[in-house]
Amino acid sequence: MRAAPVLLLAFASVSLAATTPQVPADLPLSEIVDRANKALRGESSRGRVSMTITTPSWERTLEIEGWNRDRKRALIVVHAPPKEKGDATLRRDNEMWLWMPRAERVVKIPSNMMHSSWQGSDFTYEDIVKADSIVKDYEHRLIRREKETLPAAEAARLGLAEASRVVYLIEGIPKPSAPVVWGKVLFTAAVYGAGEVVPVREEDYSERGELIRTITLSEVSRTQDRLVPLRLECRPARKPGQRTVLLYKKLEFDLELKDSFFSLKELQRKRL
């Protein structure tokens, strides 16, 4: 899922550095964006996620399990509620298929459906296929860099030697001829002392400069010796009162996932 992830934050406890903050190895913007994009995926990963979709008239929650590899392979399976149980989505490079067990059908998603909602959420099939788009399809420009002081208790909880982080606001402008939806992306990422990078916020704009949606990542925790945000909230700007919230309940990284795992056969496998 693109948490893929562009951010604009007013930090309550931010203190502007008098001099340029010292970031490990003075990470280039492209590296910061890349590391932030990989925070919840790594080179390979498995996650259990609760996805709650809220609108002014209804709310529903899905329990989901997902596997990723190399940001080019993904398999996502719905475990609950009963109506959607067993529904699965497979991504291989730029192609995507759906498995609908009640109809016993595999459907390949055509290009004209890529902007459709995935499972009724505020995310689209395009978000899954272009999980690394913010890295490869955009030119990056630094808007602002600030040093934030963290509470000592939070620094200790996260296992940090220094109670601070450097927060970058980065603008992404599409490269010429890049096959992207957004006219501009504002991306905020936090760099912690040892060079660990965590995505914080993303704002996606249309080609006319209109804000379309805002994605906020929070509840940073240390999981398998990695700093990861365990809560992701997407709010569409044109739909007041609507949002999609992902809560990561379990994350595993650096798994051995073979090509055969991301196959049509595996897509249709019956799961308990």
Q: In a structure prediction context, what are the per-residue pLDDT tens digits for the chain, which is 272 residues long?
A: 343 443 322 222 222 233 333 444 478 999 999 999 999 888 999 999 999 999 999 999 999 999 999 989 999 999 999 999 999 999 999 899 999 999 999 999 998 899 999 999 999 998 887 778 899 999 999 999 999 999 999 999 999 999 999 999 999 999 999 999 999 999 999 999 889 999 999 999 999 999 999 999 999 999 999 999 999 999 999 999 999 999 999 999 999 999 999 999 999 997 76
> Which domains, from first to last, does the chain contain?
24-267 (2.50.20.10)
Q: CB neighbours (10 Å) of residue 54?
A: 17
- C-alpha separations of 21 from 85, 155, 170, 204 in Å: 49, 18, 16, 27
The predicted pLDDT at position 19 comes to 34
The predicted pLDDT at position 84 comes to 95
Contact 148, 13 (CB under 8 A): yes
122-158 as b/e: b if 16+ CB within 10 A: bbbbbbbbbbbbbbebbebeeeebbbbebeeeebeeb
The predicted pLDDT at position 23 comes to 43
Q: What is the pTM of this model?
A: 0.87
The predicted pLDDT at position 107 comes to 96
The predicted pLDDT at position 272 comes to 60
